[in-house]
Chains A and B, each alone.
Chain A
Amino acid sequence: MSTTTADRRIMERPRYKATPATALLVLAIIVAAVVAAFPLAWMILTSLKTPQETMQVPPVWLPANPSLDAFAQVADVVSLGRSFWNSAIIALTTTVAIIVTSLMAGYAFAKYQFRHKEALFAILIATMFLPPIVTLIPLYRITGYLGLNASLAGVVVPNLANAFGIFLMRQFIKGVPDELIEAARVDGASELRILFQVVAPAVMPAIAALVLFAFVYHWNSYLWPLTVLQGNADQYPIVISLSRLLSYNRGAMNTGLVMAGATLAVLPPVLLFVILQRFFVDSVVSSGVKG
């Protein structure tokens, strides 16, 4: 049975000819994929090793008896559940807010005419290219004035809008036909209603891409949370808890523990990518080249 399915699958793809060039390309693809996947594979393999195995010289590649002990222990060392929860709150609230604010501003830039529109848009785009470190010091003081330091709100509030999101939404909303919007206006719909019930459904692929971009960026973000949380460990997202795991590791703790923690932290963004990757690739293409 299985051979017939495999045979059929090969027969459905007659365009690949078995030439030396093809073989060479396949080899190159395999080598590139193995090199790219190796660090993650090593991470997962090490998380399944015993403490003794992780310290052997020369290193052992495959755990003799794969065990999940490291995963069980990692929760004892750092408050893993709490950190995951904090990361989820940070990533989800920023993502939802960025979608809403980007849709609104993107709609205005794509479909409204107003004074200084081009200049305002240029300033917003410029902020996209500003490395965060350039604004870090005064921003830390500003969130301090607002009473946000050492709290999750301090991590979230400065990131509720995003220039890349506005840019992406503008690019895609431009493609929504004006007639569609006019028709809704004639029916007496409010602008917000038009945006969320007419325009948004028409740019779903771009929204999916922005969901992925925003979620991954803020799940992974380290510099700002580290700065604004001022050592308040209760509020640490998973990436900061992970970094603390390494300093425990300098003592007697084993490497498997660190790798187990890293594996857990990597899962949400990578899984989301696998689900939404088609949209993300499309949006990188349209923002990078056509933009």
Chain B
Amino acid sequence: MMLAPATGLLGVFIVIPMLLTIWLSFQNWSTQTGFETATFVGVQNFIDIFANNSVGRDFKAALVNTAIYTVLSVLIILPLSVMLGLLVHQKIAPGGVFLRTVLFSTYMVPMIAVALVFSKLYSPTEGPLNQILGWVGIPPQTWLSAPQTALVSIVILNVWQQVGYFTVLAVAGLTQIPESLYEAAKIDGANPVQRFFSITLPMLSNTLLFSAVICIINAVQVFEPVALITQGGPVNATNVLTFHIRRVGIERAQGGLGSAMAVTLMLALVVAIALLFAFARSREMKNS
């Protein structure tokens, strides 16, 4: 049977683990022992991860940090991808395809290498970013070394790595807009800005919805820069869920707690994406 290899592998290594995660979230279980040692504790793990002690505080911080990181990533990447997409797509000036190649090649760079390079770029004294800011009269920034700026610094790093992928998606969306719409708008006397808001943006809504979903799913996976550079610090400022769940569930071997966190992440993701679709639909109804 043609399906057996793929479905068997995905079943054993993704679907069954997914179901086990849900089951384990209701168990007290050490990751270093077999599944048979798990004991049922009801919703105690969920109570613990939202409790007012260090376990709960760390998890809630990670949840909030991940939410901020995700929202910032979407809010920066999506508009930027449309702007860059327009630059790649336009036919007035040369260099569009070249720009696409440069942007997309950053998406090929291992996140570990990105994190390494940015840790040097951000270096307050030896890094070039503060030097460049100095040239235009902006005081040096603390970047990764202070709680106020660390998470945003990691967002910037993420934007740099990912924006090329979303630009390609935006270009794909732009290619599908019929040229005749623009011609008609030109005859009606619409200027380029009016044409962008009345034609381009509405016609891109499906692309942007897809981009937002992928962007959210990618954002909750942020791990390398945190594991490599900040270890969740300073003072929990960059403690994000993928890092925290691995620390609890694997390094501290608290499999039940870690699974409860993973299930919470799953639910948060489902809610976020459902809200996004509801938002897109309400906009659509308003426009039609």
Residues in A lying within 8 Å of B, measured CB to CB: 13, 15-17, 19, 21-23, 25-26, 28-30, 32-33, 36-37, 39-40, 42-43, 46, 54-59, 61, 100-102, 104-105, 107-109, 112, 120, 123-124, 127, 129-142, 145, 157-161, 163, 166, 191, 195, 216, 219-220, 222-223, 226-227, 239-240, 242-243, 245-246, 255, 258-259, 262, 265-266, 269-270, 272-274, 277, 280-281, 284-285, 288-289
B76 at the interface (CB under 8 A from A): no
What CA separation (Å) do A272 and B173 show in the bound complex?
26
Taking CB as reference atom, which chain B residue is nearest A33? B102
B116, A139: Cβ atoms closer than 8 Å = no
Known: A59-B126, A120-B7, A136-B246. A285 touches B168 (CB 8 A): yes
Q: Which residues of B contact A277 (CB under 8 A)?
A: 101, 104
Taking CB as reference atom, which chain A residue is nearest B35? A141
B165, A130: Cβ atoms closer than 8 Å = no
Given contacts A25-B92, A33-B98, A288-B169, 15 further A-B contacts (CB under 8 A): A26-B94, A33-B95, A36-B163, A39-B114, A39-B117, A55-B126, A101-B5, A112-B2, A133-B220, A138-B35, A223-B224, A242-B116, A258-B116, A262-B113, A289-B207
Chain A CB within 10 Å — which of B108, B164, B171 has the most?
B108
A239, B118: Cβ atoms closer than 8 Å = no
- Residue from the list B90, B104, B223 in contact with A25, Cβ < 8 A: B90
Q: Which residues of A contact B31 (CB under 8 A)?
A: 137, 140-141
Known: A16-B94, A54-B126, A161-B6. A273 touches B20 (CB 8 A): no
Interface residues of B in 84-115 (CB under 8 A from A): 84, 87, 90-96, 98-106, 108-114
Residues in B lying within 8 Å of A, measured CB to CB: 1-3, 5-10, 12-18, 20-21, 24, 31, 34-35, 84, 87, 90-96, 98-106, 108-114, 116-121, 125-128, 131, 134, 160, 163-165, 168-169, 171-173, 175-176, 206-207, 210, 213, 217, 220-221, 223-224, 227-229, 241-242, 245-246, 249-250, 255, 258-259, 262-263, 265-266, 269
- Residue from the list B112, B172, B220 in contact with A288, Cβ < 8 A: B172
Q: Which residues of B contact A124 (CB under 8 A)?
A: 6-7, 10
Minimum C-beta distance from A47 to chain B (A): 10
What CA separation (Å) do A183 and B90 show in the bound complex?
45
Known: A39-B114, A46-B120, A223-B242. A137 touches B108 (CB 8 A): no
Q: Which residues of B contact A245 (CB under 8 A)?
A: 116
What CA separation (Å) do A61 and B126 show in the bound complex?
11
A138, B21: Cβ atoms closer than 8 Å = yes
A127, B14: Cβ atoms closer than 8 Å = yes
B250, A16: Cβ atoms closer than 8 Å = no
Known: A13-B94, A59-B131, A137-B31. A284 touches B221 (CB 8 A): no
A42, B15: Cβ atoms closer than 8 Å = no
What CA separation (Å) do A279 and B54 show in the bound complex?
49
Q: Which residues of A contact B220 (CB under 8 A)?
A: 131, 133
What CA separation (Å) do A284 and B166 show in the bound complex?
10
A59, B128: Cβ atoms closer than 8 Å = yes
Q: Which residues of A contact B92 (CB under 8 A)?
A: 16-17, 19, 21-22, 25
B103, A36: Cβ atoms closer than 8 Å = yes
B245, A32: Cβ atoms closer than 8 Å = no
B172, A284: Cβ atoms closer than 8 Å = yes
B13, A222: Cβ atoms closer than 8 Å = no
B13, A15: Cβ atoms closer than 8 Å = no
Q: Which residues of B contact A219 (CB under 8 A)?
A: 110
Taking CB as reference atom, which chain A residue is nearest B169? A288
16 A-B residue pairs with Cβ-Cβ distance under 8 Å, sorted by A, are A42-B121, A57-B125, A127-B14, A135-B21, A137-B250, A141-B20, A161-B9, A161-B13, A220-B108, A242-B112, A243-B228, A262-B116, A266-B108, A281-B104, A285-B169, A289-B172
- Residue from the list A39, A46, A141 in contact with B118, Cβ < 8 A: A39
Taking CB as reference atom, which chain B residue is nearest A133? B242
- Residue from the list A42, A159, A274 in contact with B117, Cβ < 8 A: A42
Q: Which residues of B contact A266 (CB under 8 A)?
A: 108-110, 113
- Residue from the list B10, B120, B259 in contact with A127, Cβ < 8 A: B10
